[in-house]
Amino acid sequence: MFVFNDCRTDSRVLREAGSLAAAGHDVTIVARPTDAASTVGEREERDGFTIVRVPIPPGHRLFRLWLRYPWRITNWAIPRARRGFGRMPGGLLDIGVAGVAVLASAPLSVVRGPFYLLALYRNRTAAERAAAAASEGAEPSPPRPSPPPPARAKRPSPVEWLVRWRWVITAWARAAAAAAGPADVYHGHDLTGLAAAVAAADRDPSAKVVYDSHEIYLESGANADQPAWLRRLMARLERRWVRRSAALVTVNESLAGELGRRYAPVRTVVVHNCPPRSDPPADGSDLIRAATGIPADDPIALYHGAFSRHRGLEQLAAAVAEPGLERVHAVFLGYGGLRSELDALAAGPVAPGRVHVLAAVPPDELGAWVASADVGVMAIQPSTINHRMSTPNKLFECLAAGVPVVASDFPEMRRIVCEDPAGPLGVVAAPDDVPGLARAILSIVAADPVERAALRARCLRAAHERWNWETESAGLVRLYAEITGQP
């Protein structure tokens, strides 16, 4: 298996590897070090399988330097040219490469240089004003922050995106393929991992490729912001790789349908991201209340997972401030770039004392924390096709803990939450309708105690009977039995 992360907490990859190893296969995951700049490889033994972490080849740092500070390329080019002159005629290649690098950096230096100098000038004058004010006994005013260089936009430009794909992802894919050695199947997680799987299969035409698409890659994150011509180019590459694969594995039926329409895979297998069967803590421990001091009788509406945009964090915080939810507490358990904004919400006047932010906990402890909540809330916003088709891990983690959910009214989540044969497992609501979200939360936390107990029991039963890894992984094991001929 190939995955372009450190594979320390990637639950889907780790579960798949563990299930295939338990079925008798010899499984190795090829990942990368946690520190992307690391040049040191690692090897880790897990339960029945091995993780090998292959560093990203260092050449990409030169191209990032060229994009950000092109005039500094001479710091690399001049010593290389000198080495070339010192071992003529064999050094002609070094001299030529250094010359091309300097020539290529010149136009970009002309464009980027004035902006860089302007930023330096503003920083210098601000520092001089602060020093002058301090010498006169006045309170110095804080220096004005300099604007970021124009090429360091919030989203990468097409050139930066292509450089990253060519000199980071593709370079790692080749190194990972070389480190993997011979295998019967090369299994690529997302398009970044598929690049490595195809590179490995190029070395052994008898090996099969499996593409594990966790989402629609070109509609995710910075990829979705690239121009249409670039995304069409990458879609053609992805289509060619998909058609070369023995099977496509993905996370739900909606994504299977969309990926099938786009790429026409030979075979598709759906494996939902469900946790293994488990039971809530028998001792009745209440970890969230112990960590936050929430009174025993006050309901808890929990969001757990990544603190990032479009996940409904602001909507949940606003919902507990709506009339009728004066005793409901919003708890955010997780990690990510919006932590400071959530801390500000917790300290703000909107729902004073009823917004709490907790750091992420180890995966093997998560179920006990989730079980402390009265309702799990996942108001994912309809900002991308991946969001609208999502079945987030947190949905299944809530069910596994016997916690009813309030989820965005998207087709896949509606099917799971509202169409269970034994009855609803929660409520769906329009994710951008804060009053509607508040009403959905209230309908669960304010229900009769007997009805709430029955709802929790129904969620736990659904997880035990259907939405669990033991059930979902069976399809993956069957796929491997068929494509390897080794049941």
The ranges assigned to domains in the chain are 11-55+156-270, 60-135, 287-467
Write out the H or E segment, with its range, that includes residue 340: helix 339-347
Q: What is the CATH number assigned to the segment(s) 287-467?
A: 3.40.50.2000
Query: What pLDDT score was predicted for residue 148?
Result: 35
Write out the H or E segment, with its range, that includes residue 225: none
β-strand partners of 406: 377, 427
pLDDT for 218-263, tens place per residue? 999 889 889 999 999 999 999 999 999 999 999 999 999 999 999 9
Looking at residues 378-404, what average pLDDT do you find? 96
Confidence of residue 363 (pLDDT cuts 50, 70, 90): confident
Query: What pLDDT score was predicted for residue 184?
Result: 97
| Cβ neighbours for 466, distance < 8 A, ≥ 6 positions apart | 420
The span from the CA of 103 to the CA of 379, in Å, is 51
Q: Is pLDDT at 146 greater than 50 in this prediction?
A: no
Higher pLDDT, 88 or 416: 416
pLDDT for 75-124, tens place per residue? 656 776 777 777 777 677 777 766 766 676 666 565 555 655 665 666 66
Place of tokens 């955010």: 332
Looking at residues 191-210, what average pLDDT do you find? 96
pLDDT for 421-453, tens place per residue? 999 999 999 999 999 999 999 999 999 999 999
- The answer to whether 199 and 8 have CB atoms below 8 angstroms apart is no
β-strand partners of 306: 335
Looking at residues 132-156, what average pLDDT do you find? 48
Looking at residues 120-143, what average pLDDT do you find? 57
β-strand partners of 249: 212, 269
The span from the CA of 434 to the CA of 324, in Å, is 13
Q: Is pLDDT at 415 greater than 50 in this prediction?
A: yes
Pick the CATH number of 11-55+156-270 from 3.90.1300.10, 3.40.50.2000, 1.10.10.10, 3.40.50.1580: 3.40.50.2000
Confidence of residue 316 (pLDDT cuts 50, 70, 90): very high
Higher pLDDT, 128 or 307: 307
Domains 11-55+156-270 and 287-467 share a fold: yes
Which of 276, 250, 271, 272 is CA-nearest to residue 468? Answer: 276
Looking at residues 165-172, what average pLDDT do you find? 91
Parallel, antiparallel or unpaired: strands 375-378 and 355-359: unpaired
Place of tokens 């180019």: 233
Q: Is pLDDT at 201 greater than 60 in this prediction?
A: yes
Confidence of residue 153 (pLDDT cuts 50, 70, 90): very low
Write out the H or E segment, with its range, that includes residue 475: helix 469-484
Provide, rounded to the nearest whole percent, the portion of the chain with pLDDT above 90.
69
Query: What pLDDT score was predicted for residue 222?
Result: 85
Average per-residue pLDDT for the chain: 87
Looking at residues 5-27, what average pLDDT do you find? 95
Alpha carbon 93 to its chain's center: 41
- The answer to whether 49 and 17 have CB atoms below 8 angstroms apart is yes
HEC string for 425-454: CEEEECCCCHHHHHHHHHHHHCCCHHHHHH
The dihedral formed by the CA atoms of 103, 106, 107 and 109, expressed in degrees to the nearest 10: 150
Higher pLDDT, 79 or 206: 206
Q: Is pLDDT at 39 greater than 70 in this prediction?
A: yes
Query: What pLDDT score was predicted for residue 151?
Result: 35
Confidence of residue 276 (pLDDT cuts 50, 70, 90): very high
For 238, the token pair is: 């992805």
Query: What pLDDT score was predicted for residue 152?
Result: 38
Query: What pLDDT score was predicted for residue 92?
Result: 75
Q: Is pLDDT at 140 greater than 90 in this prediction?
A: no
Q: Is pLDDT at 147 greater than 50 in this prediction?
A: no
- Is the entire prediction scored with pTM above 0.85? no
Alpha carbon 317 to its chain's center: 23
Q: Is pLDDT at 197 greater than 70 in this prediction?
A: yes
